[in-house]
């Protein structure tokens, strides 16, 4: 079962438009490294069908969930197809959430993926894009 989430196409265009065809940042755009972490909550999702399409350096979309009943600073991570992958860990998300709430573009990039029995550990780096 796929966990597809609708991604605003204007936002996706803005995120993708900051890169050239080679995947490198365009001139006058800064990509500022913020944190490295794993994606929390992957053990609650069925990612077996999604995992083969997840690649190192793949861009991930962030989506704030201020109404999340477990964490008011929740930030969901999605593939560019809108597949839910999990969340920024709760102990790392407050500053990122505040930046997003202030209108900053926050993205993730996969740096490693590894199966541990039925759990997919996805390690990511999180960046702020400043244009």
* Dihedral over Cα of 66, 89, 45, 53: its sign: positive
CB 64 within 8 A of CB 74: yes
What is the C-alpha separation between 119 and 55, in angstroms, rounded?
17
User: pLDDT for 17-36, tens place per residue?
Assistant: 555 556 565 666 788 999 99
CB 70 within 8 A of CB 89: no
- Span 113-128, average pLDDT: 95
If one compares 8 and 108, the residue with the highest pLDDT of the two is 108
pTM: 0.84
CB 58 within 8 A of CB 39: no
For residue 29, what pLDDT is reported? 72
What rounded mean pLDDT belongs to the chain?
88
For residue 1, what pLDDT is reported? 46
User: pLDDT for 39-59, tens place per residue?
Assistant: 999 999 999 999 999 999 999
């Amino acid at each position: 079962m796929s966990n597809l989430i609708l991604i605003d196409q204007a936002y996706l265009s803005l995120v993708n438009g900051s890169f050239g065809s080679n995947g490198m940042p365009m001139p006058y755009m800064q990509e500022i490294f913020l944190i490295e972490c794993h994606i929390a909550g992957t053990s609650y999702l069925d990612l077996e069908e999604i995992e083969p399409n997840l690649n190192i350096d793949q861009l991930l979309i962030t989506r704030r969930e201020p109404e999340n009943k477990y964490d008011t600073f929740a930030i969901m991570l999605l593939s560019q197809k809108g597949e839910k992958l999990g969340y920024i860990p709760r102990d790392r998300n407050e500053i990122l959430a505040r930046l997003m709430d202030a209108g900053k573009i926050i993205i993730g990039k996969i740096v490693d993926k590894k199966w541990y029995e039925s759990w997919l550990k996805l390690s990511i780096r999180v960046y702020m894009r400043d244009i």
